[in-house]
Amino acid sequence: MAAVRTSSEVAFNRAAIAAVLVATLIFLAPIYWIASTAFKPKELAVSVPPTVLFEPEVTPFVRLFTKRVQMQKPVDPQVYEAAPWWEKRIYDGGERVLKVGKDVQLSQYPDRFMNSLIVAVISTVLAVGMGTFTAYGFSRFKIAGEADLLFFILSTRMLPPVVVAIPMFLMYRMVGLNDSHIGLIILYVAFNLSFSVWLMKGFMDEIPKEYEEAALVDGYTRMQAFFKIVLPEAATGIAATAVFCFITAWNEYAFALIMTNRRAQTAPPFIPSQIGSGLPDWTTIAAGTFLFLLPVAIFTFLLRNHLLRGVTFGAIRK
């Protein structure tokens, strides 16, 4: 059908597009700032006015991944010539890379990054998995005190989690869960579960129960019906819930700061700790932050089709 538009509609449309563009620019500005700083030469990072055009370099990333010390005297030209390109960039900055024998000593960043990945992925899988099963139960069966139970589950979100940080810390120390992956995972699952249950319940309620009933009559058990019919139908909801849970766990700062310091420390409390002493090396911090943003961006990008609803609709008559 050809839509005939009046001039005022066209004007409104243009204004709306302009508003969305402006908003997008505002939201993207900090990300651009971080991304550009991550590729800047050190001395341009804090230049006023900010440099927009510069020759990008990956030296901040080299610094991010290596342990370095300041050099007292200039490097031996022969050593410099023999060094690989990335090591030369470090020498150029008046530093040298620490080594044990021939092996380069890595900074703590890869470790912290892995910790973040482990904690976020496992806690997301657990929170979404448990949430999906729980939501299915609430959606399909008569449960005594259903409304009260759901309210109770929601009530765990009614105060900021940090309020319980100190008691949690003491309890964790008592049972030896502090500075452990499993400790953080339990915490993040606990935060995300109520959200996951409520969100998944909404999606489950939308899946007609005739789907499962048809499967039950066709010779399947309820468990089989759940896995063959309900889960594929709930894929959209599971993807959306997983994205939110992952972002929450990935970005969590306060508990990670309090509960972990060495073994299980995640990236969010680690990155600012590098600002610490002396003149902050903004380019290296920006490089760390930039890399930290990538997993969430990639994860969301991969699930984008599921986030767009409507794929599974239209095959049942209501």
Partner 1 sequence: MTQIELRGIEKFFGAVQVIHNLNLAIADNEFIVLLGQSGCGKTTTLRAVAGLETIDNGDILIDGKPVQHLKAADRDIAMVFQSFSLYPHMTVFENVAFPLRATRMSSGEVDKSVREVARVLRITDLLDKRPSALSGGDMQRVAIGRALVRRPKAMLMDEPIGALDAKLREEMRAEIKRLHVKQGSTTIYVTHDQIEAMSLADRIVIMHEGFIQQVGTPDEVYSHPANLFVAQFVGSPVMNIAEARVADRPGAASVTVGDAPAGFEFPHRLLSKLNGHSNGGLTLGIRPEGVLVRHDAAPGYMPVEASIIEPLGSFDIVDLKVGSTMLRARTKAGYVSGPGEKVHVRIDPEQAHFFDTASGKSLGVRL
Is residue 141 within the footprint of partner 1 (CB under 8 A)?
Answer: no
CA angle at 93 for the pair 88 and 97, rounded to the nearest 5°: 60
Pure H helices in 176-312: 181-206, 209-217, 222-225, 231-233, 235-251, 254-259, 267-273, 282-302, 304-307
Q: What one-character DSSP code corresponds to residue 4?
A: P
318 binds partner 1 (CB under 8 A): yes
Please count the residues of this chain forming the interface with partner 1, following the rule CB under 8 A.
24
Nearer to partner 1, 94 or 232 (CB): 232
Q: Which is nearer to partner 1, 220 or 244 (CB)?
A: 220
Residue 299 token pair:
């994860």
Question: Is 312 near partner 1 (CB under 8 A)?
Answer: yes
For 286: left if phi > 0, alpha if psi spans -120 to 50, otherwise beta; the answer is alpha
* Lookup result for tokens 């105060």: 159
Choose between 156 and 221: whose C-beta lies nearer to partner 1.
221
Nearer of residues 105 and 305 to partner 1, judged by Cβ: 305
Give the type of residue at 255: F
Q: How far is the CB of 225 from partner 1 (least distance, A)?
A: 9
* Segment holding 154, helix H or strand E: helix 146-155
Among the listed residues 291, 282, 280, 294, the one whose alpha carbon sits nearest the alpha carbon of residue 41: 282
Instruction: Answer whether 150's CB lies under 8 Å from 198's CB.
Output: yes
CB of 233 to partner 1, least distance (A): 7
For partner 1, which is the closer residue by CB, 262 or 317?
A: 317
Q: Which of residues 201-260 bind partner 1 (CB under 8 A)?
A: 208, 210-211, 213-221, 224, 229, 232-233, 235
Report 28-67 residues binding partner 1 (CB under 8 A): none
Rank residues 24 and 221 by Cβ distance to partner 1 and give the closer one.
221
Neighbouring CB atoms inside 10 A of 160's CB total 9
Q: Which is it for strands 68-70 and 95-97: parallel, antiparallel or unpaired?
A: antiparallel
Closest CB 132 distance from partner 1, rounded Å: 16
Among 73, 102, 262, 317, binds partner 1 (CB under 8 A): 317
Q: Which of 294, 258, 287, 248 is nearest to 271 (CA)?
A: 287
313 belongs to the binding site for partner 1 (CB under 8 A) = yes
Q: In whole angstroms, how close is the CB of 240 to partner 1 at the nearest point?
A: 17
Q: In terms of CB distance, is 30 or 232 closer to partner 1?
A: 232
- Shortest Å, Cβ 202 to partner 1: 18
Are 68 and 98 in contact, with CB atoms under 8 Å apart?
Answer: yes
CB of 235 to partner 1, least distance (A): 8
Strands 103-104 and 95-97: unpaired
Q: In angstroms, what CA-CA distances link 252 with 155, 208, 217, 291? A: 20, 36, 46, 16
Q: Does 81 participate in binding partner 1 (rule CB under 8 A)?
A: no
Q: How far is the CB of 206 from partner 1 (least distance, A)?
A: 12
Residue 143 makes contact with partner 1 by CB under 8 A: no
Q: Please say whether the beta carbons of 267 and 112 come within 8 A.
A: yes
Shortest CB 260 distance to partner 1, Å: 41
Judged by CB, which is closer to partner 1: 103, or 218? Answer: 218
Q: At what angle do helices 109-140 and 282-302 cross, to 10 degrees?
A: 30
Q: Which residues bind partner 1 (CB under 8 A)?
A: 208, 210-211, 213-221, 224, 229, 232-233, 235, 312-318
